[in-house]
A = this chain, B = another copy of it.
Amino acid sequence: MKNVHSEAIDAVHYDSGAAKGVTGRVIIGQADGARNFCMRRFDLAPGGYTPRHTHAWEHEIFFHAGQGEVFSSGEWATVGPGHGVFVPGREEHQIRNAGSDPLTFVCLIPSGVPEI
């Protein structure tokens, strides 16, 4: 069993034009022997956002803390702690922080694609 506080994991920071104020961590992945799917944690600083993009694989997302919005089909929908979001493969999506605290969520992907 692996048991770790997700904030103790080494982080990758994204602050390109396409992404702003994003911190990402792989909580459970290939290195842990997880062969079917991968759990990542993302923290978006106030004003931060993920890229608006599309890819073949799905996301299964659980929102842990903060207030955010998710873009899908031309509209922004509100999300907060306890929300679950399923983004099917090939669907354009983006997440942004809509509050004044960090927006924290876990986002799971199938194995075989880049983990972070």
The residues of A with any CB-CB pair to B shorter than 8 Å are 1-7, 27-28, 32-37, 39, 41, 58, 60, 62, 64, 70, 72-73, 77, 79-88, 91, 93, 106, 108, 110
Contact with A106, one of B28, B77, B106 (Cβ below 8 angstroms): B106
Name the residue of chain B whose CB is nearest to the CB of A80: B5
Determine if A86 and B2 form an interchain contact, defined as CB atoms under 8 angstroms apart. Answer: yes
- In the complex, chain B residues whose CB is within 8 Å of the CB of A85: 1-4
A7, A36, A87, A91: residue with the most chain B Cβ atoms closer than 10 Å: A36
Known: A1-B93, A58-B36, A88-B1. A6 touches B108 (CB 8 A): no
Q: When chains A and B are docked, how far (Å) is the Cα of A91 from the Cα of B62?
A: 25
Contact with A58, one of B34, B41, B106 (Cβ below 8 angstroms): B34
Q: When chains A and B are docked, how far (Å) is the Cα of A35 from the Cα of B89?
A: 11
- In the complex, chain B residues whose CB is within 8 Å of the CB of A64: 62, 64, 81-82
CB distance from A30 to the nearest CB of B (A): 11
- In the complex, chain B residues whose CB is within 8 Å of the CB of A6: 62, 82-84
Determine if A36 and B36 form an interchain contact, defined as CB atoms under 8 angstroms apart. Answer: yes
